[in-house]
Amino acid sequence: MTQAKTAYQKPIPLKDIDNAPYWDAADQHQLALQKCVDCTAYSQPPGPTCAKCGSENVTWEQLGNDIKATVYSYVVSYRPFLPGFQEELPTIIALAQLDKVPEVKIMGNILNCEEKDLAIGMPIQMTWVDITEDRALPQWIPATN
Amino acid sequence: MGTIKDRYAIVGVGESERSRKSGTTPLHLALEAANAAIKDAGLKATDIDGFMNYNEGDSCTSHQLATYLGVRPKYVKDIQGGGASTEMLIADAVALIEAGQLNTVLIYRSMNGSSGTRVGRGYDPDMLQGALAGGSFVIPYGSASPSQWFGMYATRHMHETGITKEHLGHVCLSFYEHAQRNPKAFLHGKPLTMETYLATPDISSPFNIHDSCLELDEGNAIIVTSAEKAKDCVSKPVYIMGMAARQCHPHAHYWNDIDQVASDYVAEELYENAGVTPEDIDVASIYDCFSWVVMRQLEAYGFAKRGEVGDFVAEGNLKIGGKLPTNTAGGMLSEGYTHGMNNAIEIVRQLRHDYEGTDRQVEDCKIGICTGWAGPDIAGAMILRN
Ligand SMILES: [Zn+2]
């Protein structure tokens, strides 16, 4: 886990009635995914109903904190488009495909990664950055094993 | 929509000055564009009973425009909409005329896109989180620009299909070459070489400044009426053969599945309604907010097979003289960005043979396509003929 050094300037994920369980789990350094009881599809991002079949019968699955994935796609940004990113350029933004649930892809930054090492298919793992007193942001780092 | 084939026409097109800093309001730019389109059609402002516009909260209202044209409009509509809205509003206009509600509709897009509000920039991050579907899963990671949103698609697509940075460069070079033939293009007199293109650093990969549209202050207007009423106009009517007003990605948070785009759903309906195939298209306006967006649409609309689009553009097929002369005024990469409408205006002028006798005219062109891309999430297109 990485501790942010100065006051956090970047946008903080806004919790709402549909996504709160995801961010609440993240604050505890855990991944939770919304899943449909009727058709078993995962919803990422979570929503009011299943985006696959419209069922209101949705639940949450806890996936823990050992989350492995591969890079499905990425961009490298050399300019900040939002506050707080000006200090950490370039910014790597990736779409991570979960090993256990390949149909789910989660966006995040890849930390501790040189641009030259970045590639589609690269193994990564989820980490959590404590950004404020009570909030943590899921992020990705190159897989260690 | 199948039954409207050839029964409606675009009878007038016009634009304002384009600049980095208009020094005036979107209402003034809209008036300038509307008056140009009305003159082009040979109509009086009072012949128009419907006014429509799309905007991002950065324009004037249709009611304002009508008012200052001296018209009491019967119908006004202002929508929040991206770069597939020209096609959708033309379809709406046709439907309202078909329903007997209106006779003639003027559609415009007017914006201080450079000196005023810039699309996709300077928004409040918390507002964006709420405004984007699943925005809280995107914005906290620094992804707030269409270049980053569409770039995520581009990187994967290029990886899968063998499209290279140099291929993107061929899209840019083709359009920049067209801009050199268009004195009103903003980058007229500023040709681009592959060497310069490849040496230009990315802003956000895989896009550098040349891959990105040219945000300017400009107003554009288009007038739509029935084929019957088109006979009263001084312009050559350009008939609407077929449209696919709008199609959507299955998920509003389109990063949910970056292997598909809304444009993939447009082509079948479009060609069926128009009764033509990609081989019949003589000239094209392909929405070009970013170079790769053109590549992805060439695949979606069947102009080149998946995996062969890179070769297609490298062979010069997008240039005047190629198999599919595209964005012949320079497109939004080098003529200027009016959120898609300037590309629609150009296809009308090509099909009317307005450039006859110059190197800008696509010789003997009869059928043209104009595509809209509001993003991977929303698209629409139309096929026109002379
Ligand atoms: Zn379901």
User: For A66-145, CATH number?
Assistant: 2.40.50
Q: Where are the domains of chain A?
A: 15-64, 66-145
Mean pLDDT of chain B: 96
pLDDT in tens, B169-224: 999 999 999 999 999 999 999 999 999 999 999 999 999 999 999 999 999 999 99
CATH number at residue B7: 3.40.47.10
Whether residue B360 is contained in a domain is answered as yes
Taking an 8 Å cut-off on Cβ atoms, the answer to whether A11 and B125 are in contact is yes
CB B204 within 8 A of CB A76: yes
Interface list for A 55-114 with B (CB within 8 A): 72-85, 91, 93, 95, 105-109
| Beta-strand relationship, B8-15 and B50-55 | unpaired
> How many angstroms does the Cα of residue A51 sit away from the middle of ligand 1?
7
Minimum distance, in Å, between the CA of residue A144 and any CA atom of chain B: 22
Q: Which residues of B touch A10 (CB under 8 A)?
A: 140, 142
Domain membership of residue B223 as a residue range:
2-117+214-385
Output B99-104 pairs: Cβ under 8 A, ≥24 positions apart. Answer: B101/B50, B101/B74, B101/B75, B102/B49, B102/B50, B102/B74, B102/B75, B103/B47, B103/B49, B103/B50, B103/B225, B103/B226, B103/B229, B104/B11, B104/B43, B104/B47, B104/B48, B104/B49, B104/B50, B104/B223, B104/B224, B104/B225, B104/B229
Instruction: Answer whether B156 sits within 8 Å of A120, measured CB to CB.
Output: yes
**pLDDT band at residue B368 under the 50/70/90 scheme:** very high
Find which of A31, A81, A109 to mutate to test the B interface (most B CBs within 10 Å of its CB): A81
Nearest to A71 by CA among A140, A129, A136, A138: A140
Minimal Cα distance from B130: which residue of A? A14
Q: Ligand 1 mean position to A102 CA, how many Å?
A: 17
pLDDT band at B131 (very low <50, low <70, confident <90, very high): confident
Beta strand A68-77 with A58-64 is unpaired
Residue B183 counted as domain residue: no
Residue B122 located in a structural domain? no
- For residue B121, what pLDDT is reported? 64
Q: Which residues of B does the annotation mark as catalytic?
A: 287, 337
Which residues of chain A does B206 touch, with a Cβ-Cβ cutoff of 8 Å? 75
pLDDT means over runs of 10, chain A (145 residues): 70 97 98 98 97 97 98 97 93 98 98 96 98 97 89
How do residues B330-350 score in pLDDT, each as one tens digit?
999 999 999 999 999 999 999
- Name beta bridge partners: B225: B9, B104
Q: Is the peptide bond before B206 cis (omega within 30 degrees of 0)?
A: yes
User: Distance between CA B352 and CA B340 in Å, rounded?
Assistant: 19
Q: How far is B53 from chain A (nearest CA, A)?
A: 28
Q: Quote the distance between the C-alpha of residue A114 and its chain's center.
A: 19
Comparing CB atoms, the residue among B141, B152, B253 nearest residue A73 is B152
* Residue B120 pLDDT: 61
Which residue is associated with the tokens 């009308």? B348
Q: Is the pLDDT of residue B1 over 60?
A: no
Q: Is the residue at B168 inside a domain?
A: no
Q: Min CA distance, B136 vs chain A (Å)?
A: 5
**What number is the average pLDDT over the span B101-107?**
98
- Residue B250 Cα, ligand 1 centroid: separation in angstroms? 14
Task: Report the distance separating Cα B366 and Cα B350, nearest Å.
Answer: 9
* Residue B134: inside a domain: no
Count: domains in chain B: 1
Minimum distance, in Å, between the CA of residue A5 and any CA atom of chain B: 17
Q: Which whole number is the average pLDDT over B294-298?
A: 98
Q: Are B81 and B373 in contact (CB under 8 A)?
A: no
**Within a domain: B198:** no
Protein residues near ligand 1, an ion, with CB under 5 A: A 36, 38-39, 41, 50, 52-53, 55
pLDDT of B127 reads 86
CA–centroid distance, A27 to ligand 1, in Å, is 27
Convert the pLDDT of each residue in B312-323 to its tens digit.
999 999 999 999
- Interface of B to A at Cβ within 8 Å reads 121, 125-126, 128-130, 133-145, 147-148, 151-153, 155-156, 159, 201-206, 250-251, 253, 255-256, 258
Closest CA to B27 of B82, B107, B109, B105: B109
- Can you tell me the ipTM of this complex? 0.96
- For the entire predicted model, the pTM comes to 0.96
pLDDT at B287 over 90: yes
B200 is a domain residue = no
- How much of chain B, in percent, has pLDDT values that exceed 70? 98
- How far apart are the CA of A35 and the centre of ligand 1, in A? 8
Q: Cβ–Cβ of B155/A91 closer than 8 Å?
A: no
